[in-house]
Structure formats: C-alpha cells, structure tokens
Structure 1
Amino acid sequence: MTLLKLVEDRPTPKAVYNWKVYLLAAVASCTSCMIGYDSAFIGTTLALDSFKEEFNFTAMDESATNLLSANIVSCYQAGAFFGAFFGYPLGHFWGRKVALLISGLVFILGAGLMLGANGERGLGLIYAGRVLAGLGVGAGSNITPIYISELAPPAIRGRLVGVYEFGWQAGGLVGFWINYGVDSTMAPSHEQWIIPFAVQLIPAGLLVIGGIFLRESPRWLFLRGRREQAIENLCWVRGLHRTDIYIIEEIGAIDQALEEQRSTIGLGFWKPFQAAGSNKKVMYRLFLGSMLFLWQNGSGINAINYYSPTVFKSIGITGTNTSLFTTGIFGVVKFVITFVWLLWLIDHVGRRNLLIIGAIGGSICMWIVGAYIKIAAPTENPKAHIDGGGIAAMFFFYLWTVFYTPTWNGTPWVLNSEMFDPNMRSLAQACAAASNWLWNFLISRFTPQMFAKMDYGVYFFFASLMIFSVVFVYFLIPETKGIPLESMDQLFEIKPVWKAHKQLLEQLHEDEERFRHDIEESGLSTTKFATEQVEDTAKFA
C-alpha cells in the first residue's frame, strides 16, 4: 500500500478530497492547540525560578509546593470535565459552529484573568482563570471531533480527525519550548513567567476569528430539519453538484440513518439520555468509548506532560534549564511522530492495530525505565553528568514516546468521534471528553504525591495498565477505518469484533454494486437517475 492510497467504502470522486475539508478541520482544531499548549507549558512555567519567587514557593517545604502545583494544574481539568458536558446542549441546540465560537470566547476570558495575577494579588486569578479556560476547552474537546467527523469522507476521516491531534501536538511543541526560551534569554522577572500565560490567547483568537467563516455541519442541519442548507453545505464541502451520485448516496445514507433513529432512539435533546439508560447496546458503546480514556491516561502521558521536570529529575536530569531542554526534545519527538500518524498510520494501519502495538511497545519501555530507576536510584545518587545507564533510560523514555504518540495519543478521539449514530454522537462525545478530563484530573492532581511515595513504582504502575489495555482493545474494540458513520451500528453488531471490519466492508461493496446495477437496469442516465433520487429522498424526509 502506497503512502497516500485510500481505503474507500465506495468509488469516490477526487473532488471530495479537497482543501475545504482540511481547512475546516484545521480551524476547528485550534481548540486542541489550546489544550496541547496548556498541557505542556503549565508544568514547566511552575518550575521557573521567577514564578516560584513571586508566589513564595521557595519558602515552602516540598509537600506544600507539590500541593499548590497540583491544585494549579488540576483545576483546569476540573473545569474541562464540566465543560465537556456543557458542550452537549451547545452543540445540540445552536450547532457545532456556534459551540466552537463560544468555547473559544470562554477560554479567552479565562486566559485574560490569569494575566492579572501577581505576587500581591496571589494565585486566585490563576485558579479562576484556569477553571474558566478549562470550561472552554472541555466544550471544545467535545465538539471538535464531532464536527470534523461529520464533515469528513470515510476514507480520510481518521486523518481529518487526526488534525485535531496534530493541533494538540503543535500547541504542545510551543508549550514545551517556550519556557526554555524565556529561561535562556530573560532574567527572572514577572514578565518572564507571564509571557507563557499570554501565548494561550493566540490559538483561542485564531479559533474565534476563523470560526466566523466555518460552515455548519450538514449532518447537524439534516438533524434539525434544515434540509436545503444541509444539502448546500454538503455540496460545498464535497466540491460536487447535488445531482452527483456520490452526493445522492450520502444524502440517502443520512436520511436512512435519521429515519432509523426516529423509529428507535428518537430525535430530540433528551432522547439520547433515555436511550443510554434503556438501551444496553448504547450503554455498552458509551462504556467502551469512556474506557478508552482510562487506558489512555493510564499510560502515564499526562503525568509526563504536566510534570515533565519531575519525571526527568527522577531519571537523573539535573538543573532547571537542562530539564526544560530535555522536555523540549520530548515535545519535538511527539510532534514529528504525530505527523506520521496523521498522514499515514491512522487510515492505513487502522485504529485497533495501533492501540495494541502502542500499548505493548510502550509497556516494555516503561518497565525498563522503572527498572533503571530502582537499580541506579539517580535521585539518591546525583551525578554532575548523566551516565551511560541514564542515557539508556532516556533512550527508552523517548522510545516510549514513539510508541505512545501515534497510537494512544489521538486514536481514542478518532474512535469516539465515529462510533455513534448522529443523534447519539454529541452526548457520547460529551461522555468521552468528560471521561478524558476526569482521568486527566486525577493523574494531574496526584502525580506529585505518586512520585514522592512510589518512586520507580510509578513507571511499573503505568506499564501494567498498558498491558491491561491490550486485552481490552483486542476483545472489545472493532476496527472502524473506512466505515461510513451511518454503518457503525452494523459494525458493532458483528461478532467476533476482530472480524467485523472485513465482513462489513464486503457487505458495503455488495450494496454499492447493487445500487449501480439498479441505475443500469433503469435505463436512465446517471444524472437523470440521481435527480429522481433527490426528489424521492426529499419527499421521504
């Protein structure tokens, strides 16, 4: 398979893979830039001497500073947890576009509050600002993957939702390096630590400005009964006329899915809640989507993101500037590997295989790093320069990054954006995003205490959880690459799950051949047949 070869559910015109879908995905993914930047910059900003001195951290003992650092970091995740649920009514009633704009504006308000903090006023504005910023990114983390998946052609849906992850890593790359930059070029001062806080406003501003020009999701417009606007937006995004066979098939699939929901779950704000409480199949899929983020956070990624100076210190890296530089390299590795994941892995290797491979490889690396720390005890035996054992531990740490980044970092978001039908998707994404932020909160809140009490055991803990995730994925998660959103219910009906993808694709190809055979039997031209189908579909709706 070549680098850009696509696995399609049906013959797809080249016009469908146009710049518009990539641009819309990039603008919406400014939300993930906001998230990625925060996860990277906050821990290293708290490690700056200028921040510690202004807020009197230097006069506190280690347990007190650990508690304050954990509170500053984790209140953002607490806000994001609730923001993920607030995103559901926003996306349902006002649409994906308006919800994205609101999330950006709330984030800007929170980031602005943080800039008012100083030693005299204390940390109150930082706490309040981080909660508000968390609300904004929580809502954005709900809406963005839904919006992108509803716009994306099946063959590149993973790649386009992957743009969301790419934005996360781009923000993280800047966040990891900015504190190294201010630490290397500026003397300790209020301005030194406030600059990293101010940079948060850039991706949020880009989201608000770019969001004004976004097109609303056609699938949401169909759901709300705004059919003409939905068809217009769909044709614009696909770059095709409404009489094109591809458009007719897509409209027919959406109408069929909505009719099926109308007769089963029902259409409306509360219907998904009722379905989740009464339909075991829906509840089961919500469970799968939410559990993916338990395993994602169980890999240890957010312990590393938020407290990277602490992590590298445990391996034997000494000195604030050296620790910040090492953290920056970690960000570069993640960014580069994410690009490979986005361009090739997610839509070629597939979601399921990536998760299994990443968990096995990442677990092995974590066991090795933990074993080194147990044997060498670098924090108890500090050295002026890292020795050969420390270099080997760093190698396996970066190798862990290579395994984790193209697998568990973004793939759970892709799966959750595509494994639910349109009427359940917003609530399901809210549950998935809330699950992510819940586990994210717990990890960020207790990581300093874990390192203080468990030492090398932290690495063994995360390595064990990664092994458990392999069992979960192998037996419970089917492959979704190339499957139309409207066919996800069929996919999850097929057992065993490791054979479901192949069986459903074969069935979809048979349906496609039958449809084109009907065109030939009708004796009508493709355009005439498509026109009649448009009229019939409109009457049906």
Structure 2
Amino acid sequence: MSILQLVEDRPTPKEVYNWRVYLLAAVASCTSCMIGYDSAFIGTTLALDSFKAEFNFAAMTAPEKDLLSANIVSCYQAGAFFGAFFAYPIGHFWGRKVGLMAAALIFTLGAGLMLGANASRGLGILYAGRVLAGLGVGAGSNITPIYISELSPPAIRGRLVGVYELGWQIGGLVGFWINYGVDVTMAPSHKQWLIPFAIQLIPAGLLLIGGVFIRESPRWLFLRGRREEAIKNLSWMRQLPEDHIYLIEEIGAIDQALEEQRSTIGIGFWKPFKAAGTNKRVMWRLFLGSMLFFWQNGSGINAINYYSPTVFKSIGVKGTNTSLFTTGLFGVVKTVVTFIWLLWLIDRVGRRLLLLVGAAGGSVCLWIVGAYIKIAQPEKTDKAEMNGGGIAAMFFFYLWTVFYTPTWNGTPWVLNSEMFDPNMRSLAQACAAASNWLWNFLISRFTPQMFTAMGYGVYFFFASLMILSIIFVFVFIPETKGVPLESMDQLFDVKPVWHAHDKIVSQLREEEEQFRHNIEESGIAANKIGAQETQVENTADEQNVKYA
C-alpha cells in the first residue's frame, strides 16, 4: 500500500469528497483560529515596551514580572478548562451547531472586556476578559473536532479534522507577526498594544456569521431521533441521493452503532458518565486521550508559544524587535509544515507513525539546543550578533518545529475526535479538551519560573518527556487511519496494538464484499422470482385463450 493512497473502508463515490465537507470544517475551525491567535500574540504583546510602560513593569522585581506574566497568560487556560466541560450539555441537548455559536458569543464578550484595560483601571478587567474568552475557546475545542469527525468520510477524516489544526496555525501565524508589525510601524502607545487584543474579534465574528449557514451533524440528529432531517443533511453533505447504496450503507452503520449503544452504554445525558465509571474499556480510552495531551504539552510547545521571546532570548537572540521577528519566522515554519501534515501526511502516513517519528526527531533537537546553551551560556555575552554555535542552535530549534508540528501538534486532536463511539464522543472530547487545557495551564503558569530556575535544563526536561512518549505510543496507541467511527471498539480490542489496524481494515473489506455479494444474490433471486411470475402469467394467458 503506497502512502500516496487513501485508505477507504469501502468503495467511495468521488462525489463524497466534495467542497461542502471542507467548507463546514473551515467554518467550524474558526474556533481554532481564536485559540491559535491567543497562544501566539499574548506572549509577544507582554514583551512590547508600550505594554510594560502602561502597567509599570519597571517598578517590579524579576519574580513579580514572572508572576504577572504567568497570571495574564494562564487565566485564559483556566477558563478553557471549565469551558471544555461546559460545552458537553450544550452539545448533547442543543447540538453541535448551537454549541459553536455559543462558544463564539462567549469569546466575543471576553475579547471585548480585554479592550477596556488601561493603566487607570488596572489589569482586573483584562483578567476577567481572558477567563471569559477561555470559556469560549474551551467550549469550541470540545465541540469542533466532534462536529468535523461526525460529518467526515473515513478516508479523509484526518484531513478534515486537520483543518481544525490548520486554523490553529493560521491564527498563530497572524498572532506571531502582529506584534512585530505594530512594533515597527507604530510608536509605543496604548493603541499599539491594544490592536493585537482587538484582532481576536475577527475569527469570532467569522464563526458567528458562518454558523448561521452550516448544517447540523447528521450523527447528532440520528442520536436525537430526528431521522428525516439527519438523512437530508447527510445526503447534502455527501452530494448523493438518499437512495444511493453508499448512503444506505452509512445510515445502516450509524443505526447499528446506535443500537449497540442502547444495549450497552445507553442513550442519555448521564449514561456516558455511568459508562465511564463502570466500563473499563471506556475508562482506558479516556486515559489514553488525556495522556496524549500530556505528552503533547510535554514536548514544550506551549512554553514556546506563550513565551517565545523568553525562549529565543535563552538561545542568544538580542533585542525586542529581533525577538519578535524570530518568533514570526517560527510561526511561518509551523504554518507551512501544517499544510504538509494536513494535505499529505495525516491520512496517508497515519497517526501512530507520525507520533513516533515526531517524538524521536524532536527529542534529539532539544537535547542539542540545551547542550549549546549549557556550554556557550549565550545570555551572558554582550555580542549583538549570534556566533556559529548560536546559528546552529537556532537551526535545530526550527528543525524541532519541523518534527513537532506535523506530528504532535494536531494528531492528538484527530485521535481523540475519532476513537469513541457517538454516544460517548461528547463526554470523551470534553475530557480530552479539558486535559489539554489543564496541562496547558500548568505549562503556561510555571514556564517563566522554570526558565529562571532551570535555564538550559528546561530543554533537557522536555526532551526527556518526548523520549517517554515514544514508549507510550508504541505500546498503547493503535492506528486509526481509515477505520470508521462505528468500528473503533473493535479496533481497540485487538492486541497487540501494532497489528490492530491491518486486522480491522481487512475484516471491514471482507464484510463489505459479503454485503455486496448478498445484495447481488438478492437481486438475482428477485429477478428469478419475477421471471417465474411472468412465466406463470403467460401460461395462464395461453390457457385462457385456448379455453376461449
């Protein structure tokens, strides 16, 4: 099997891979634009001289500055942690579409509050706005991957959920460059640092506008008993008539999965909670999903995203403007590599291999960067320009970005969006998103203190965690590429996990062949019966004529 081929669970009409599913995914992924922008702009905004001057950073000690920066950054993640759980009842009772709209409204209110902060009012309104905006993006981080995975054909599910990650990177790219732009084009002022905060309103506004026109998830509609509307939406998304064999098979698979849920977990708001507490298989997958985000944050990505000026300063980059420019290049590298991941890697190479390769390559790069800082001690030099060793360290930092971004940056979101059955998916995604924001909060809250206390040891710490993640993925995470959502239970039951994917895909193809064979036989039998009936009618007519 070439990596250039899509893995399909069954023969798929070309109409299924259409612009509508991509458009729906793009609109929903405005939530990740909001997340990506915040993760990029906030650290560089805090580094602007205008922001420091307005809130009198000069009068603070180094520990006080570290604490203030950590609080401004991390209260957003704290809000997102609770927002991920807040989205569960909205998504369950009112649907994915309403959940996305609610997330956008809450975020917009929070972003608006942040614009009211100034020297006379203090930072209180900024804290409140960031907590509220965090609630909105936490809810969006729960609902968006679920919504996209539920409308996706299996062969491009990774690619479509990857649009969510692409939105994250596009938002991050703008966030990394916005402060460089205001720094070189505007004099330090209140307006200079306020503009990056105001840009947050753009992706939220796009989601509110697009949310009016998107269609509800067919799988959620089936779950709520709205069958006619579900079939209509599914037909629209697949661009196939309702009586097409592909659509009939997909509806049959959804019905079968729902029937299995009724007989096992059950249908209802509290049933997933009960299943999570009593079903070992569900508990195990919730643990796996949470740990994927632990390892993701253990790579150091959010320490770099939120405090990129601090990171580049530790390598030897001097000056605020130079640091902002270098951070912008970091955002460019991430975005370009994300396009490669989205369009080529995720649905061809698969999830498991990407995680293994990314962790191995990224770990090597961080060991080299940390070793350079330990030996050369670049922060103690007064030279404005970097030497050869510093340039090499920067090269390996960007190489780490190339290893990390197309592997660990978006793949955990893809896996968590697809490895649970439909009735468990909302609660599972809430737990996964909350887990992401919990580890995100801890990293963002303590990174300034870690750099102050550990120095080069921060890089060795994250490099060690990436090595441990290789062991975890190899032993516990099966490949989910091309496996229908309704077959995930079977996939996770196969041991050892490194053989699970091939076994399930082979089994699905056999079932598909048998299904089509049965249909053909039914058609032949129907034709025979029809021929016999026609023959009887002809014989009767002949006898009637003879009798007459």
Asked if these proteins are the same fold (TM beyond 0.5), I'd say yes
Please show how residues 39-78 of structure 1 align to structure 2 within 5 Å: 39-78=39-78
Residue 440 of structure 2 is matched in structure 1 by 440
- CA apart distance, 1:61: 1.3
Give deviations 1:433-455, integer Å, cap 9, x for gaps: 00000000000000000000000
Kept after mapping to 2: 8 A contact 1:7/1:155? yes
Please show how residues 36-435 of structure 1 align to structure 2 within 5 Å: 36-435=36-435
CA distance in 1, matches of 2:2, 2:190: 52
CA distance in 1, matches of 2:105, 2:5: 39
CA distance in 2, matches of 1:2, 1:208: 41
* Secondary structure, counterpart of 1:97 in structure 2: helix
TM-score using structure 1 length: 0.96
CA distance in 1, matches of 2:339, 2:59: 43
For structure 1, which segment, 52-61 or 338-347, has the greater mean C-alpha deviation from structure 2 after superposition? 52-61
1:122 alignment partner AA: G
1:152 alignment partner AA: S
Residue 31 of structure 1 is matched in structure 2 by 31
- CA apart distance, 1:2: 7.2
CA distance in 2, matches of 1:400, 1:279: 39
- CA apart distance, 1:456: 0.3
Kept after mapping to 2: 8 A contact 1:478/1:491? yes
Alignment root-mean-square deviation, CA: 1.0
CA distance in 1, matches of 2:184, 2:60: 26
2:34 alignment partner AA: M
Kept after mapping to 1: 8 A contact 2:3/2:349? no
2:405 alignment partner AA: T
- CA apart distance, 1:364: 0.2
- CA apart distance, 1:525: 11
* Secondary structure, counterpart of 1:215 in structure 2: coil
Percent identity of the aligned residues? 81
- CA apart distance, 1:478: 0.2
CA distance in 2, matches of 1:14, 1:389: 52
Structure 1 residues 376 and 223 mapped into 2: Cα distance closer, same or farther (>3 Å)?
same
- CA apart distance, 1:381: 2.3
Please show how residues 494-513 of structure 1 align to structure 2 within 5 Å: 494-513=494-513
Give the aligned length. Answer: 526
1:28 alignment partner AA: A
Give deviations 1:271-309, integer Å, cap 9, x for gaps: 000000000110000000010000000000000000000
* Secondary structure, counterpart of 1:408 in structure 2: helix
Residue 530 of structure 1 is matched in structure 2 by none
* Secondary structure, counterpart of 2:480 in structure 1: coil
Give deviations 1:318-342, integer Å, cap 9, x for gaps: 0000000000000000000000000
Please show how residues 409-488 of structure 1 align to structure 2 within 5 Å: 409-488=409-488
* Secondary structure, counterpart of 1:407 in structure 2: helix
Kept after mapping to 1: 8 A contact 2:352/2:478? yes
CA distance in 1, matches of 2:126, 2:24: 32
- CA apart distance, 1:382: 3.2
TM-score using structure 2 length: 0.95
CA distance in 2, matches of 1:69, 1:348: 41
Q: Computing the radius of gyration over CA atoms, which structure comes out larger, 1 or 2?
A: 2
1:68 alignment partner AA: L
Give deviations 1:237-291, integer Å, cap 9, x for gaps: 0000111010010000000000000000000000000000000110000000010
Kept after mapping to 1: 8 A contact 2:272/2:424? yes
Give deviations 1:34-84, integer Å, cap 9, x for gaps: 000000000000000000000111211111111000000000000000000
CA distance in 2, matches of 1:41, 1:274: 41
Residue 531 of structure 1 is matched in structure 2 by none
CA distance in 2, matches of 1:473, 1:2: 23
- CA apart distance, 1:4: 6.1
* Secondary structure, counterpart of 2:491 in structure 1: helix
1:218 alignment partner AA: P
Kept after mapping to 2: 8 A contact 1:479/1:498? yes
- CA apart distance, 1:5: 3.3
Kept after mapping to 2: 8 A contact 1:351/1:481? yes
CA distance in 2, matches of 1:337, 1:525: 54
Give deviations 1:185-227, integer Å, cap 9, x for gaps: 0000001000000000000000010011110000000000000
Kept after mapping to 2: 8 A contact 1:316/1:382? no
